[in-house]
Amino acid sequence: MYPTVKAAALAAFMLAGAGAACAQTGFYIAGAATGSDMTKPKQTIGNAPATGQTLEVENAVNFHWGGQIEAGYQRGFLRVEAEIGRTTNPSAAYSAISPISATLPQDGKNDVTRYMLNGYAELPRGRWFASPFAGVGIGAARGHVTTFAAPARAPAAPPSQLIDARETNFAWQAMLGVAVPLFRPLSLTAQYRWLDAGTVNGVDSRGEPITRRLHGSSYDLGVRVRF
C-alpha cells in the first residue's frame, strides 16, 4: 500500500474517533526537528559505462536529520501555513544495476530544501488527549546531490567527484499527525510526512546527463505557539 493511501486510511480512523468541541482561531508559528528516511534514490547516467548506453544506479542512503519552521493561520477546523524545511541524507554506497552490476562505497549526499504552502484539517481535542490532523502541501524543492566515488566502469580507480548537481523542482507532500496541548498557547506536535521533491537533472564530471529522484518519509517532532 502506498504511503499516501496508508496516511489517508489512518486519517479517517483518527478523525472518526475525535469528539466535537470548539475549534480555535488565530495565527501561529511552529517548528520541528525531522528524522528523514529517504527512499533509495534511483539515478541514471548518460553514455555510461560506454557511449550510447545509460547506466542505472540506486544510491544507498542513511537515516538522517533536518528541520522546518512554519507560520500559519487557523480558522475553525481548517488551517493554512507557509513552511520552509530542509533534510539531508548521506549516501555511503551506490549500486550500479544495468547494464553492469557493481556496488561501490561513496561519500555522497542528498539534500532537499523545500518551500511549501500547506493546508490542514484539524479536529479539536474533544474527549481525547490530542487533536488529530491531516494535510497536503505544494511548493518548490531545491535538491542538491553529490557523489564522490570510483566510477562503476572502473571500480579500482581512485575516488573522485563524479556528480555535483542542483535543481529546483515542483514538490508535493502529505502529512498526518497529532497536536498535544501542553498549556494554553503551546502544543507539542508529532507528524508523519511523505515528500516527493521531484527529480534532479544535471551533468556528471564528464558533462553527461544525470537524473536522481528524491522522495521518501520524514518524522517530525516539534512545537506550535498560538497568538
Q: List all residues 6 or more positions away from 158 whose beta carbon is below 8 Å from its beta carbon.
A: 150
Average pLDDT over residues 114-135: 88
Give the pLDDT of residue 9: 44
Split at pLDDT 50, 70, 90, the class of 30 is very high
Q: Check residue 89 and give its pLDDT.
A: 97
Mean pLDDT of the region 68-80: 96
Domain ranges for the chain: 33-121+130-145+154-168+200-227
Mean pLDDT in residue range 39-62: 96
Q: What pLDDT was estimated at residue 174? A: 98
Residue 15 has pLDDT above 80, yes or no: no
By CB atoms closer than 10 A (0-12, 13-18, 19+), residue 129 is exposed
Q: What is the mean pLDDT of the chain?
A: 90
**Band of the pLDDT at 21, cuts 50, 70, 90?**
very low
**pLDDT digit string, tens, across residues 153-196:** 999 999 999 999 999 999 999 999 999 999 889 999 999 999 99
DSSP line for the chain: --HHHHHHHHHHHHHHHPPP-PPP-EEEEEEEEEEEEEPPPEEEEET-SSTT-EEEEEEE---EEEEEEEEEEEETTEEEEEEEEEEEEEEEEEEEEESS-EEEEEEEEEEEEEEEEEEEEE---TTSSSEEEEEEEEEEEEEEEEEEE--TT-TTSPPEEEEEEEEEEEEEEEEEEEEEEEETTEEEEEEEEEEEEEEEEEEBTTS-EEEEEEEEEEEEEEEEEE-
CA quadruple 36, 40, 43, 48: dihedral sign? positive
